[in-house]
Amino acid sequence: MRPKILVTRKISDLAEKKLEKEFDTTLNLKDEPIPESELINIVKDYDGMISTGFDKISESFFKNLNGKLKIIAQVGVGYDNIAIKFAESKKIKITNTPNVLNEAVAETTILLILAASRRIGEAYNLVRTDNWKNQKPDLTKFMIGNSVTGKTLGIIGMGRIGRIAAKYARAFGMKIIYYNRNKLSNDLEDGASYYSDIKDMLPKCDFVSIHTPATAETKHILNFSTISLLPRHAVVINTSRGSTIDDDALIDALENKKIYAAGLDVFNNEPNLDKRYLNLDNCFVLPHVGSATHETRLAMSMMAVDNIYCFFNGKPLISEVV
């Protein structure tokens, strides 16, 4: 009898077809979210599950399992929606999809740097609302933003995505500095300057971009204290996880012009972000689309399927979390 696999949300067509060839598969073709209470009851009949970051897989989920489920393959590099310690206690393997989304997220980082510094959200809205014609033509004031070329980009978390973002930023002649748990080798630094203390780095940043996972150590790494160290012209960029930023601190800084702007693709309590962000002209926001390219989402879906295949065929997992 073939293992039974539940797919909680719609994934790429090719990945679904590959999964169906190998396993007894239940797909979510309508892509309707499954509440955790329902998911707990449904998954008891399955040997494996492919999940996404939209799924809540908490302590309660694992406490109510019947022992049949053996693996959860997450489509996404982040897995803070999964109660990892409880998965480990139940001996359930967890995998994710790292590296295949690095370039796409780094591209989004550059998009946010440009959009926030050049006031693209405001400019776009002027045209879309047909208010451009009502603006006074003024060469020194109308939609004047800040240049990116030659500025200093501070990167918090110089992992693979952070390093690719740095590489792209160098095309604008940006100087790269970074804060990381450990100093990188010279070849990986590629000319970037290391700071062992984030408080020493932040005053030197024209832009600061977060590229860390969601952990206890990175929660609110940008808060009232650290944001206060940024220059008034600084721009905050986040394509990592919403929990890395204290919303009250960032919103206060934006509202009171303590910093220039922010570009955000991720938020606390997504998709129910703090509504105050929507009232800020100096905050350019996206709906967590950092990895949203056809190529990337296909690669993510295929990696999740491949992890399932490897597990049930006794092969090493491609990207094991626990």
List, for residues 201-213, the tens digit of each pLDDT value.
999 999 999 999 9
Mean predicted confidence (pLDDT) in 109-115: 98
Whole-angstrom Cα distance, residue 32 to residue 180?
39
Phi and psi at 18, nearest 5°, equal -65, -40
Q: Is 184 exposed, middle or buried (0-12, 13-18, 19+ CB in 10 A)?
A: middle
pTM of the model: 0.95
Active site residue 288: yes
Whole-angstrom Cα distance, residue 146 to residue 114?
9
Question: Which of these is catalytic: 118, 119, 288, 297?
Answer: 288
For the chain, give the mean pLDDT: 97
Contacts of residue 170, Cβ cutoff 8 Å, sequence gap at least 6: 176
Mean predicted confidence (pLDDT) in 45-49: 98
Please determine, for residue 34, whether its predicted confidence score (pLDDT) is greater than 90: yes
Closest among 39, 53, 32 to 6, alpha carbons compared:
39
Instruction: Please enumerate, as own/partner, the contacts of 65-73 that have beta carbons within 8 Å and a separation of 24 or more.
Output: 65/40, 65/90, 65/92, 68/44, 69/43, 69/44, 70/311, 71/47, 71/95, 71/307, 71/308, 71/311, 71/312, 72/48, 73/48, 73/49, 73/304, 73/305, 73/307, 73/308
pLDDT band at 137 (very low <50, low <70, confident <90, very high): confident
CA–chain centroid gap for 202, Å, is 21
Whole-angstrom Cα distance, residue 162 to residue 298?
22
pLDDT of residue 99: 96
Mean predicted confidence (pLDDT) in 276-299: 97
pLDDT of residue 178: 99
Question: Which of these is catalytic: 59, 270, 294, 295?
Answer: 270
Which residue ranges form the domains of the chain, and what is each CATH number? Answer: 4-100+294-312 (3.40.50.720), 102-285 (3.40.50.720)
Active site residue 241: yes
Question: Which of these is catalytic: 118, 211, 241, 297?
Answer: 241
